[in-house]
Amino acid sequence: HVQLVESGGGLVQPGGSLRLSCTTSGASYSSYSMAWFRQAPGKEREGVAAINTGGGTTDYADSVKDRFTISQDNAKNTLYLQMNSLKPEDSAMYYCAAAGWVRAWLDQRDYIHWGQGTQVTVS
2-37 tens-digit pLDDT: 899 999 999 999 999 999 999 998 866 556 899 999
Q: How far is CA 93 from CA 6, 9, 30, 40, 41, in A?
A: 11, 9, 26, 6, 9
> Taking the CB of residue 55, how many other CB atoms lie within 10 A of it?
8
pLDDT of 75 reads: 87
Identify any residues that bridge with 33 across adjacent strands, giving them in sequence order. 52, 99
Cα separation, 111 vs 36, in Å, equals 11
Cα separation, 48 vs 91, in Å, equals 12
Cα separation, 12 vs 60, in Å, equals 22
The tens digit of pLDDT for each residue in 64-91 reads 999 999 999 988 989 999 999 999 999 9
Nearest to 122 by CA among 49, 13, 23, 28: 13
Longest dimension (CA), the chain: 38
pLDDT of 28 reads: 62
pLDDT of 30 reads: 58
* pLDDT category of residue 54 using cuts at 50, 70 and 90: confident
pLDDT at residue 109 is higher than 80: yes
Cα separation, 52 vs 98, in Å, equals 10
